[in-house]
Amino acid sequence: MNYFKWLTFSVVTAVLFQCSDSEPPEPPTAPPLSIRAADISFLPEIREANVNFRNGANEVKDVLDILKTEGCNTIRLRLWHTPATHHSGLDEVTAFTDEIKSKGLKVWLTIHYSDTWADPGAQSKPAAWSSASLSDLADSVYNYTHKVVSLLEPDYVQVGNEINGGFLWPDGNISNQSNFIMLLKKGIDATRSASGSTKIMMHFAGLEGSNWFYTLLENNSVDYDIIALSYYPRWHTKSLTTVKSTMNQLVSSFNKDIILAETGYPFTLGWNDWTNNIVGLSEHLIPSYPATAKGQHDFLMQLRKNISEVNRGLGLAYWAPEWVAYRGTQAQDGSPWENMALFDFDFKVLEGIKVFNE
């Protein structure tokens, strides 16, 4: 997900509603998922604002402790090469990784290969690599990846984030498939060399086009372990049935484990600061899941149930459950995601947190 990515919404048509899940949902039960993850990459920055998060008993607790108590077993972290601030840089991620491991949680590292957000619309090379030749760029990818995997020893690694269009643009744009595959393999080879146990994920945002993308990887003998997809109803599909069938199809076609690497849903369409929210219109919702605490919970529990029924479905990661309005209610540079968090506007945990329950 990209903080700065603003997409123009389209008018919802009758067809959209016909292909959405319209039956009144009942909160389902489901077997536990093997990976119950949260991407809390903002937490070190939010901690600096001294936000008092509260658990279900209304006790002030750290987000990491709340998540673990509720059954979360894996923490997903983004890594930027040389960010404008120290946040999401190697020093911060190293310290946070040590803390996460000390609590008995697994680490899922997302290497962006950029100084800032990398996603389908932006894959800028780190400034330090901006003038590198293709050969030097390949060496940089290998050496950097080997360094961070050796240092952090993550359980899971994404070589790139939402690499629908490739990464390390323009050199690694997917329009130049040979360059893209070569650079991707450099990151993979470095990961395999640095760790014999780290599982490698290939991350595609959305469902449409995913079969083409993973076919490209297969045709080029790309070595990885897990198919990783982003899924948000606003941008992808309003049908959870389609999510499930697409996941099953990908597993069948490519013989890989599969996971939803990013997802999220609003508990309100309201605001808690003056920063424009990314998801804030009724058109962004699945009609049968309103923007309420219960609607968020029911969406997540149905999604969890569907994943548990997918052959080789590993689990999911909730993106930015901690990204509350941490800079104050009048901040114009605060959170565009506070209505998508798993904490309400008083920073108390919501019932959607139960998606992590064992």
Residue 8 has pLDDT above 50, yes or no: no
Q: Is 262 a catalytic residue?
A: yes
* pLDDT range class, residue 358, cuts 50, 70, 90: confident
Are 258 and 33 in contact by the 8 Å Cβ rule? The answer is no
**30-356 belongs to CATH 3.20.20.80:** yes
Query: Position of tokens 């499930």?
Result: 244
Average of per-residue pLDDT across 268-286: 96
- Whether the full predicted model's pTM is greater than 0.75, yes or no, is yes
pLDDT reported for residue 32: 74
Q: Is 162 in the active site?
A: yes
Q: Which of these is catalytic: 99, 153, 208, 262?
A: 262
- By C-alpha distance, which of 76, 104, 77 is closest to 91? 77
Tell me the per-residue pLDDT of 178-230, one tens digit each, with 9 for 90 and over: 999 999 999 999 999 999 999 999 999 999 999 999 999 999 999 999 999 99
pLDDT of residue 7: 37
Of the ranges 18-22, 64-68, 135-139, which one carries the lowest mean pLDDT score? 18-22
- pLDDT, tens digit, 9 for 90 and up, residues 224-241: 999 999 999 999 999 999
For the chain, what are the domain ranges?
30-356
pLDDT surpassing 80 at residue 318 = yes
How many angstroms separate the Cα of 264 from the Cα of each of 57, 104, 231?
24, 25, 8
Instruction: State both tokens at 33.
Output: 């998922």
Q: Which of 162, 218, 338, 358 is catalytic?
A: 162
CA distances from 266 to 136, 297, 338, 342 (A): 44, 10, 9, 9
